[in-house]
Amino acid sequence: MKNRGMDKASDKTPLSWQQTGSTLFLKGTLDRDSLLPFWQQKDSLLAHIENIDVSGLEHVDSTGMALFVRIKGDWQQSGKVLTFSGIGERLNTLIALYSLQSLFADNSPEKGNSPE
């Protein structure tokens, strides 16, 4: 019998990121264990970012969600616009659980542009 907890921990993909234009693509796992390196570099990483694509994230925990809320709030306070794209079902569930829909309401830059 396999220990699912151990398998989950060993199956985590480390958090990585890549910038293309004004979009920052996040990939892997964003949780309390992977957050620190990103947090320490966030100011330089996000300096020219207008969109964060989260479609490559396999897992986001409440700590990762708190990071998104903090970043989004900082941008709004400074009068900048920051969107999140690629929000999947799991992340949408976290957004709904924490009643953050209004904070992330503008996160469909491609809305209405889907091919017919």
> Does some domain include residue 88?
yes
Residues 9, 105: Cα–Cα separation, whole Å: 32
> Does some domain include residue 9?
no
pLDDT at 107: 63
> Does some domain include residue 14?
no
CATH of the domain at 27: 3.30.750.24
Higher pLDDT, 98 or 109: 98
Q: Are 29 and 12 in contact (CB under 8 A)?
A: yes
pLDDT at 2: 41
> Does some domain include residue 111?
no
Residue type (1 letter), 106: D
pLDDT at 7: 46
Summarised one tens digit per residue, pLDDT across range 53-92 is 999 999 999 999 999 999 999 998 999 889 999 999 999 9
Q: Which two three-digit tokens encode residue 43?
A: 């100011």
Summarised one tens digit per residue, pLDDT across range 22-64 is 999 999 999 999 999 999 999 999 999 999 999 999 999 999 9
Cβ count within 10 A of residue 47: 8
What domain range includes position 45?
A: 23-75+83-101
pLDDT at 106: 73
